[in-house]
Amino acid sequence: MAHVQDAAAYILEAAGVGGMSAMKLQKLCYFAYGYHLAWEERQLFPERFEAWANGPVCPPLYNMHRGHFALRPGDIKPTREGRLDPGERESVDLVLEAYGSFSAHQLSAMTHSNGPWVAARHRAGAAPLDRSNEELSDDEIFEFFDALTSADADERED
């Protein structure tokens, strides 16, 4: 199984020399995790997301980029194994294709509308700008992204 830094390093490599903001990287990792969980019915990586004020954040990834606004390829190092398997790569590639052009703030707003982040913030009793380290539930992430996947499939059939 890959780790969050493997997915993050892969995303940064795909972004190229321009890189991206740390916030955008966090949100793309979240979307990749969620869709991968729905499509493959397995975690993309074992690290968890928490319901921080600006959306889902993976603390181990945050610790790797803390203090840096912009990230470029090579700034996040993959694990020694460092390999995404073909299914993991496909999930990340599809998310990059669908969400890669959105800004960090657009991606963050998408996580705030409803779903696992909102549920975790509610469980924690966190007001809009309050800090929270409440974990997002894999069951809720799966249900949310599975519903998105089903809705997308229904729209293509119409």
Local confidence pLDDT in tens for the 158 residues of the chain: 899 999 999 999 999 989 999 999 999 999 999 999 999 999 999 999 999 999 999 999 999 999 999 999 999 999 987 789 999 999 999 999 999 999 999 999 999 988 999 999 999 999 988 989 999 999 999 999 999 988 765 555 55
Question: Taking a C-beta distance cutoff of 8 angstroms, is the pair 8, 21 a contact?
Answer: no
Per-residue pLDDT at 84: 94
Residue 85's domain spans which residues?
A: 4-157
CB-based contacts of 1, cutoff 8 Å, min separation 6: 43, 45, 46
Per-residue pLDDT at 150: 85
Per-residue pLDDT at 14: 95
CA pair distance 34, 44, nearest whole angstrom: 8
In the chain, the N- to C-terminal Cα span, in Å, equals: 36
Question: Taking a C-beta distance cutoff of 8 angstroms, is the pair 47, 76 a contact?
Answer: no
Q: Tokens 């460092």 appear where?
A: 82
H helices present in 41-85, as ranges: 59-65
Number of domains in the chain: 1
